[in-house]
Amino acid sequence: MTERPWLAHYPTGVAHEVGEIPFAHLPGLIAKAASTYADTIAFTQCMPNGMNGSLTYKQVDALSDDFAAYLREVVGLEQGDRVAVQMPNCLSYPIVAFGVLKAGCVLVNTNPLYTAPEMIHQFSDSGARVLVVIDMFAGRVPEVKAATSIETVVTVRIAEFFPPVIAGVIRGVQRFWNRSLPHITVEHTGLQAALAAGRGRKNDSSPQRYLDGIGPETLAALQYTGGTTGVSKGAMLSHGNLVANTLQMISMCGTFMRPGAEIVLTALPLYHIFAFTVNLLGFFHLGARNILVPSPRPPSNLKRAFENYRITWLTGVNTLFNALMNERWFVDSPPRHLRASAAGGMALHQPVAVRWREMTGTPIVEGYGLTESSPVLTFNPLGGTGKDGTIGIPVPSTDLRCVDEDGTPVAVGEAGEVVARGPQIMLGYWQRPDESAATLKDGWLHTGDIAQMDADGYFTIVDRKKDMILVSGFNVYPNEVEERIAAMPNVLEVGVVGVPDDMGGEAVRAYVVAPQTPPTEGEVIAHCREALAAYKAPKSVRFVDELPKSPIGKILRRELRATAVTSTTASIATQGRELS
């Protein structure tokens, strides 16, 4: 076996290394695409009712220049200052995000659904001086601004850059029908006014002057983790990290990504690292048309986007693909122009993958990565050489290993923690040197994920270290149990966690969403025992209407565990009262 067995399984024409990176920073990548595809439509925002607006590559480039000038010339930011951006998928997002990068500042992506305490933590930790926020969620800003370093607030409308009549209709519905626009009591500037102010202050040398000294090692973004291992912390992603990962991802897709010919549906939020790198940067570099959907929930919000545009690519998570295949309109008329789909963010269940291929007649492949790796580390090759149930093979210029507790590589087929190195690995955690040192060791990123590598170099995630369930001394990995239950008829979603066991240790519990003719608890347990060792089968099953999810649709096991612990503790307390 060679040290990098996966290289033998790269698609024809895919280089083993990304080679010399042609861009010193992200604005260089953006400028090249804007020049190459100037008059092509870059972004179309599609609302659930089909109302839409679009911007060309040339328009996005010019408007983001205006915003860069606003930040530097009007607000007075310096190179390296942080700018928090808090909005759903909309036409304003690429303008603002690209403008922040062109200004030589640092982008701090923020979930628009965050509560005030979550915003205060992220803005205080990052030291952000400017907040660009969608006006629908700006009601929290007064409390947040008073408790953070935010000095300047810029507000964005959901229908910004739409044709005036359409924008007016949407604004009227928000104001008078939905009453979804809070009164903003802090001083703020509308995006259009900010752009006009920047346009009036910029000159031909402005964009380049802002980038003096910016290079591959310069910090580009603080991408905050989901807080699954404690307090949310900012992964420091450099310009080089993000440029390299963009090119790695495109290279791995080979001929399935055609320059200037793709139309990608972006349902995942652009503020999440997966969509940010793959959908925003990757498809912009390719000259694709990006169909932006502000919210994919409910799945019917995607109906008009699929009907009105010749979608060729879709990225998503397991729950999104599963949800679409439970929509009558999607089943009756699957997308006719789709070429491929990519899944990430959580495990792609094999029953979902098989059904998706059958329903759409197109490939769906799973990749793997983390916020700390910009994010893509592995990808299943397109074109028939991938392996179902695996996360694929490392992308070019990337090494992966499975190691034991001492950091020693384990044998082929044995489970161990995934460690990775490559040009996409973060600089470290913002202002957390101890946690950075614990995660980055001798150039290797320790992911906290448990996986196995086969003889061909394909990796299979067993589970997160922290999600492992210890049953009578035996390790149980939730992914394996979830995959088994997901294959049952009428099961829409499933989450498996460990709960305190009255005999000591933990027991397996499954939370199941089955809206139509659900199986019984006994049937679920029996189904698992047919293919799994008895200790892996759930000891209890709870049927629920929905499962807690992250903004990208990833099932949050930590919240299920918290619910399980609370209910178990209450049950034990009740039993104690009954016995006394």
Mark residue 254 as left, alpha or beta (left: phi above 0; alpha: psi -120 to 50; beta: remaining). Answer: left
Q: Residue 461, SS3?
A: strand
Name the band, by pLDDT with cuts 50, 70 and 90, for residue 576: very low
Taking the C-alpha atoms of residue 209 and residue 104, their distance in angstroms, rounded to an integer, is 9
Reported as a pLDDT band with limits 50, 70 and 90, residue 319 is: confident
Scan for tokens 């009105």, then name that residue. Answer: 308
Question: Does residue 475 sit in helix, strand or coil?
Answer: strand
| Least confident residue range of 116-125, 358-367, 376-385, 538-547 | 376-385
The pair phi, psi for residue 83, each rounded to 5°, is -125, 120
- Give the list of residues 6+ apart from residue 328 with CB closer than 8 angstroms, or none: none
Q: Phi and psi dihedrals of 400, rounded to 5?
A: -130, 145
The one-character DSSP state at 83 is E
Beta-strand ranges (E) seen in 229-375 are 234-238, 263-266, 289-292, 313-316, 340-343, 364-369
Of 56-60, 182-186, 455-459, least confident by mean pLDDT is 182-186
Instruction: Indicate the residue type of 164.
Output: P
> What mean pLDDT is predicted for residues 321-341?
96
Q: What distance in Å separates the CA atoms of residue 199 and residue 70, rounded to the nearest whole number?
A: 7
CA 53 to CA 157: how far, in whole Å? 13
Q: What is the pLDDT of residues 512-523, one digit of tens each?
A: 999 888 999 999
Helices 26-36 and 57-69 cross at an angle (nearest 10°) of: 140
For residue 478, the SS3 value is: helix
Q: What percent of the chain has pLDDT over 70?
A: 95
User: What per-residue confidence (pLDDT) applies to 455?
Assistant: 96
Q: How far apart are CA 451 and CA 463, in angstroms?
A: 7
CA-to-CA separations, 111 to 320, 432, 494, in angstroms, rounded:
19, 22, 25
Give the separation between CA 365 and CA 392, rounded to whole angstroms. 8
Q: Please give the C-alpha separations between residue 271 and each of 67, 381, 410, 455, in angstroms, as whole numbers.
A: 18, 26, 36, 37
Q: How much is the pLDDT for 36?
A: 98
Q: Domains of the chain by range and CATH? A: 468-579 (3.30.300.30)
Which amino acid would we find at residue 77?
L
Q: How confident is the model at residue 466 (pLDDT cuts 50, 70, 90)?
A: confident
Confidence class for position 2, pLDDT limits 50, 70, 90: low
Instruction: Identify the helix (H) or strand (E) that includes residue 318.
Output: helix 318-324
Q: Report helix, strand and coil shares of the chain as percent, to nearest 5.
A: 40, 25, 40
Least Cα distance to 348 among 372, 374, 325 occurs for: 325
Helix (H, G, I), strand (E, B) or coil at 117: helix
Strands 313-316 and 152-156: unpaired
